[in-house]
Amino acid sequence: MVCLTEEPTETLYLLGEQDRIVGISGFTVRPPRARKEKPKVSAFTSAKIGEILKLEPDLAIGFSDIQADIAAELVRHGVEVWIANHRSVDGILDYIGRLGALVGAAGRAQALVAGLRAGLDAIAAEAARLPRRPRVYFEEWDAPQITGIRWVAELVRIAGGDDIFPEHAAMSLAKDRIIADPSEVVRRAPDLILGSWCGKRFRPEKLAARPGWD
């Protein structure tokens, strides 16, 4: 298998099925050993098609409409591709179950899911004791500014906060989560700002330099 994004790599390692992996995303950080053991053959919006073909994978696994062009190119070269499109916390847990079933590890996958659900429940119980719920702005991209996907907003809520752009979180496509007027972030006055630019390193100093963001 070639893992075009980080999720299948981490999941397969957690399931003890890492020997199936022949190539990974260059953004992989978990587990750290994966970067040492597996060749890096993709980013998020691009992939080394030639290098992937040399690995002769039975399956390539990716995520979202953003990787549609990569998937199409691999399909044209005869590679089977699974592009998952989970957008919620429940969708992520379902994805783990499906990936586990795909590699014959359904039981281990369900045990992993049960453990993750228990962890989320414990966090929610702890968060319920917070004296107040902080308002949170999550930035997924900076130019244009794109706010977080549904599962991000759900994790913020589970952890005891409230996403300041809930109307955008409900939108599955990144283009529908663009903040047309960046000054709206200032007006909504978040207590916390979280940044995870999808495909490049987050630079908090760039946010601090925006007009009004001091």
Q: Domain residues for 201?
A: 135-208
139 shares a domain with 115: no
146 shares a domain with 114: no
Residue 129 included in any domain: no
Residue 174 included in any domain: yes
Rounded mean pLDDT for each run of 10 residues along the chain, 214 residues in total:
97 98 96 97 94 98 93 98 95 98 97 98 97 97 94 97 94 90 94 90 92 88
Write down the pLDDT at residue 98.
97
90 shares a domain with 27: yes
Write down the pLDDT at residue 166.
94
Domain of 86, CATH number, reads 3.40.50.1980
Write down the pLDDT at residue 186.
95
Specify whether the backbone of 62 is left (phi greater than 0), alpha (psi in -120 to 50) or beta: beta
Write down the pLDDT at residue 214.
84
Residue 160 included in any domain: yes
202 shares a domain with 115: no
Total number of domains constituting the chain: 2
Write down the pLDDT at residue 172.
82
Domain boundary among 56, 88, 119: 119
Write down the pLDDT at residue 92.
97
176 shares a domain with 91: no
Residues of the chain by 3-state class (helix, strand, coil), percent to 5:
45, 15, 35
177 shares a domain with 113: no
107 shares a domain with 39: yes
**Prediction pTM value:** 0.88
Task: Let me know the angle formed at the C-alpha of 138 by 162 and 175, rounded to the nearest 5 degrees.
Answer: 115
Domain boundary among 119, 148, 182: 119
